[in-house]
Structure 1
C-alpha cells in the first residue's frame, strides 16, 4: 500500500528549498554588490599647471562601474572644487553603468583666484559597490603641484649673428627658469639649446644652421616652453648672406651603371630588380632619402660638451673634386634622368689614404650607409657632427673618443663613388652645412670662439 506524502511535510520542504534559493540568490547578489575592487585612475597628474591648463583624467572600474568623480585644488587653506559628477547606478533604468571614462579638467587660475605657487591637487573616484556603508570603493590621489602663470624670459647674450646660406651659427641665451623645450627656430626647423658649457646653468648654447636652400628672409627666433607649458619667443639681430652654389652635369655611362648598381642589390627589395638605369634612379632618390633618415637617427642626440678646438683639418695632400651644395643634373644618352644636391665636399688623394678626424669628438656611428658607403660619424658636442664616407675600411668603433688627426679609416670607393676619394660633411643636428666654414680660422673666431668668450666675461 503506497504511503501518501504528508502535505505539511511537503510544504515545509518546499519552503526550505525556496529559502535556500533565496539565500543563494541573496548571497550572489550581495557578493556582486559588495565587490571590493577599487576604481583606477590611470592619468599622471602634471607637476606644473599653467594659467589655463586642461588635461584628461582616464578613469575605469571594471565591475560595478563609476559612481562619483570629484576633483579639487587647494591653495593657502582654500579648497576649490573643479568637478563633482555623479553617474548612473548599476541597474538603474535610465542608463547602463559607466565602466570607463575620460574626464576633462580645466584649471583657469585667474578665474578661480589661484595665484602662482604651490597647491594641492586632489582626485577622488567612487564606484557603485555597496562597500563602505553603500558609499562604494574609493580611490583617491593627492599631489603637490606648482601653479605657474608667467612665461619664461629670454635674454640674448650676443649682439651680432652673421650667417651664410648653407652655413652654421651660434646663438647663446639665458632663460629665467628651466625650460624642457628651448632652442632656435630657423624657418620650420628647430635647433635645441643645451646648457652645461657655462657655470651658469641658465645659459644655453644652440648651434644653428641654414640649409643650402634657406637664404635671406628666413625667420629666426628663440623659443622656450617652461615646465608648466608657458611659451615665449624672442628674436635676435642677424644677417643672412645669400650664396649661389655651383651647377654640375654628370653623364652616366653604361660601364659605371654596370659596375656600381649590382652593389646595391641588397639595398633594393627583390621585387624592385629593374634595368640598371631605373635601379640607379631608385638608388639616387629613394635610397638617398632612406640613408638620410639613418644619418638623422645617428645624430639625434649630442653630448653637452664642446670636444673640439681650433680649426677643423681636412684630408692631407688632397684636391677637391666636388663642392658643398653642388646641384647635379644626371644625364644618360643625352637625356636628363635625375637631379640631386651634393651635401658635402669630395676630397681625393692617394688610393686608400688614411683619413684623420677633423677635430676631437666621440664616435657615434660606424657602418655602411647605402650611397655613402662605409661611413664614420663624430659628435663634437652641442649638436655639431662631422661625417666621413666612401671609406674602404674602418679604424675606430662606436663609442670611442678620438683626438684631432686620429685615423678613423682609409679612403675608398664604397657606396655611390666612381673612384677612390673621401666624401666629407659637417652637420648641425641633422642639417648638412658647408665644411669650408669649419676649415676657416677667421670664421670660427668671429662666429664661435669670440661669442663664447664675450659671454664668459659677463659671468661672475
Structure 2
C-alpha cells in the first residue's frame, strides 16, 4: 500500500513537472512566436509629390520576430507598380528572423515606370516572422496619397536691363507658373532667395542679389526655381557687370594700440593664449574673431521679413567724413613688417565724438549687442534680404525686434571693438553678401535700379 502511495506521489510530481513545462512552452510560444506586435515602416521624409526624379528613403523595423518581407508600390489608375519587394529568411523554424531593422532607398523615375502626371497612391507593406495568423505573421500596411508632377516650373523674367557694379546690388522680378519650394538668383556659387508678397499676384517674386566685391564681369547669373515635387528649372537674364577697382591701404599697428585694445578681447583669445605676445593676440583677433564676427552677421541676415520697409535713399551719418571705403584691401604693418591682410567690408565715417547715429531707413532691429571686432553693434532688417549694419557704437539706444523709422537715433558713435578712434563702421548686406553702401546713399541709383523696376512690374 505504501508502495502504491509512493508511486502516486511520483506520478503526481511528474505530472506537475510536465504541466509546468507545458505552461512554460505555451507561455514562450505566446510571447515569442505568437506575439502580435505589428512591424513598422517609417518614411524619413513625408512625400506629397514625386517629380521627374525622386528618392524615397524609409526604415522598416520589427524588434520581436524580425522582418520577413518589405514591399512598396505605387497605384495609379488601377495599375500597381512595384518599387521594392524584398524577403528576409528566418534562421530556423524556431529561430525567427535575424533582421530587426532595414533601411530602404528607392530612386523613383515616373517616366521609366510608365507613370503619368496626376494623382497616385503610395502603398507600403511589412510582414514579420511571428506565427500569428496561421504563421502568416503580423502585417503593417499604409497608404499615402500623392501627386506625380514631372514638369519643371516656367520662369518669366519681368525686369529687363540689369546694370550691376562689382561689389554692388541688383533687383530682379520674375513670375513662376506654379507653387515652388525655393526660387532665387544664383551668382556663381552664391544663392539669393526670391520672395513673393510684394505684389498682389503670389506668382510674382522679387529678389535682391549681390555681386561680391571679388567677382568680376565674367560671373554667371541665372534664376532657379524648384517646385514642390523637386523639379528645377533655370532661366538666364540680361545683365552687365561693371568692373570696379578698390583701394589699397596700409594700417600701422602701434604698441600703444595693442596695449589699449587687446584686454577687450581676452574672452575671445582664451586662456591658452593669455600670456602670448600682444601682436599674436592681435592676429588672433584680426583673423579669427573677425571671421566669427562676420559669421554672426551672415547668420543674423539669413532670415529677413518679406516686407519692403524702407523708402527712398538711405541716410549717411550727418556731418561725417569718410575714413575708409568699401572693399579696401588693407595691409597691416607692425614695426615696419606686413603681418596681415584683410578686406574692409563697409565704410568708416567719422564726425564729432559720440555723434548720434540715425537709422539709415525704416526697418526692424534684428541685432543689438556686442559683435566681436565691431564692438557694440546694431543690425536693421529693411525687408526682402536687405540689412544695414552699424559698428563701434559707444551706446545702443534700441532693442531687438523694435521697429525704427528713417532718422530715429539708434545709438552713438564710439571706438568699441577693434577701432582705433571714434567713428561709425557702416555696412550693408544682401542675405549673405556685403555690398557697397554708396549705392544706397544715391537716390538716382535707387530710382533706376529699384523703384522704377517695381513700378513697371506692378503695371505689367
How far apart, in 2, do the equivalents of 1:106 and 1:265 lie?
53
Secondary structure of 2:180's counterpart equals: coil
Secondary structure of 1:180's counterpart equals: strand
Identify the residue that residue 399 of structure 2 maps to in structure 1.
Answer: 397
1:153 is the counterpart of 2:192: no
How far apart, in 1, do the equivalents of 2:97 and 2:90 lie?
8
How far apart, in 2, do the equivalents of 1:410 and 1:84 lie?
69
Identify the residue that residue 426 of structure 1 maps to in structure 2.
Answer: 428
Identify the residue that residue 249 of structure 1 maps to in structure 2.
Answer: 250
How far apart, in 1, do the equivalents of 2:398 and 2:182 lie?
34
Larger mean CA deviation between 95-104 and 299-308 belongs to 95-104
User: Do the aligned residues in 2 keep the contact of 1:88 with 1:94 (CA within 8 Å)?
Assistant: no
**TM (normalized to structure 2)?**
0.96
Q: CA deviation at 1:177?
A: 1.1
CA-to-aligned-CA distance 1:5-61 (integer Å, 9 cap, x gap):
655663464245224313322331232112121112221441011123222221111
How far apart, in 1, do the equivalents of 2:113 and 2:41 lie?
25
Q: Aligned ranges for residues 429-448 of structure 1 at < 5 Å?
A: 429-448=431-450
Secondary structure of 1:365's counterpart equals: strand
Identify the residue that residue 303 of structure 2 maps to in structure 1.
Answer: 301
How far apart, in 2, do the equivalents of 1:364 and 1:16 lie?
79
1:191 is the counterpart of 2:192: yes
Give runs of ≥4 in structure 1 deviating > 4 Å: 1-9, 92-96
CA-to-aligned-CA distance 1:275-306 (integer Å, 9 cap, x gap):
11111111000110011111111111001100
User: Do the aligned residues in 2 keep the contact of 1:91 with 1:97 (CA within 8 Å)?
Assistant: no
Structure 1: state its 5+ residue gaps: none
How far apart, in 2, do the equivalents of 1:294 and 1:391 lie?
17
**TM (normalized to structure 1)?**
0.96
Secondary structure of 1:97's counterpart equals: coil
Q: Aligned ranges for residues 34-53 of structure 1 at < 5 Å?
A: 34-43=34-43, 44-53=45-54
| Alignment size in residue pairs | 458
Identify the residue that residue 329 of structure 1 maps to in structure 2.
Answer: 331
Structure 2: state its 5+ residue gaps: none
Secondary structure of 1:141's counterpart equals: strand
Shift of the 282–42 alpha-carbon distance from structure 1 to 2, 3 Å rule, reads same
Q: Aligned ranges for residues 360-371 of structure 1 at < 5 Å?
A: 360-371=362-373
Q: CA deviation at 1:320?
A: 0.7
Q: CA deviation at 1:338?
A: 0.6
User: Do the aligned residues in 1 keep the contact of 2:67 with 2:97 (CA within 8 Å)?
Assistant: no
CA-to-aligned-CA distance 1:179-227 (integer Å, 9 cap, x gap):
1121111111110111100111111111100111011101111111111
CA-to-aligned-CA distance 1:388-447 (integer Å, 9 cap, x gap):
111000111000001000000001110111111111001111211100000111111111
Identify the residue that residue 258 of structure 1 maps to in structure 2.
Answer: 259
Secondary structure of 1:301's counterpart equals: coil
Q: CA deviation at 1:83?
A: 2.6
How far apart, in 2, do the equivalents of 1:296 and 1:250 lie?
26
Secondary structure of 2:312's counterpart equals: coil
User: Do the aligned residues in 1 keep the contact of 2:390 with 2:425 (CA within 8 Å)?
Assistant: yes
Q: Aligned ranges for residues 124-139 of structure 1 at < 5 Å?
A: 124-139=125-140
Identify the residue that residue 21 of structure 1 maps to in structure 2.
Answer: 21
Identify the residue that residue 285 of structure 1 maps to in structure 2.
Answer: 287
Q: CA deviation at 1:110?
A: 1.5
Shift of the 286–312 alpha-carbon distance from structure 1 to 2, 3 Å rule, reads same
CA-to-aligned-CA distance 1:55-79 (integer Å, 9 cap, x gap):
2221111111111212121112222
Identify the residue that residue 145 of structure 2 maps to in structure 1.
Answer: 144
Shift of the 220–94 alpha-carbon distance from structure 1 to 2, 3 Å rule, reads farther
Larger mean CA deviation between 24-33 and 428-437 belongs to 24-33
Q: CA deviation at 1:94?
A: 10
Secondary structure of 2:420's counterpart equals: coil
Identify the residue that residue 181 of structure 1 maps to in structure 2.
Answer: 182
How far apart, in 2, do the equivalents of 1:386 and 1:68 lie?
58
How far apart, in 1, do the equivalents of 2:416 and 2:12 lie?
98
Q: CA deviation at 1:267?
A: 1.7
Shift of the 128–93 alpha-carbon distance from structure 1 to 2, 3 Å rule, reads closer
Secondary structure of 1:25's counterpart equals: helix
User: Do the aligned residues in 1 keep the contact of 2:60 with 2:70 (CA within 8 Å)?
Assistant: no
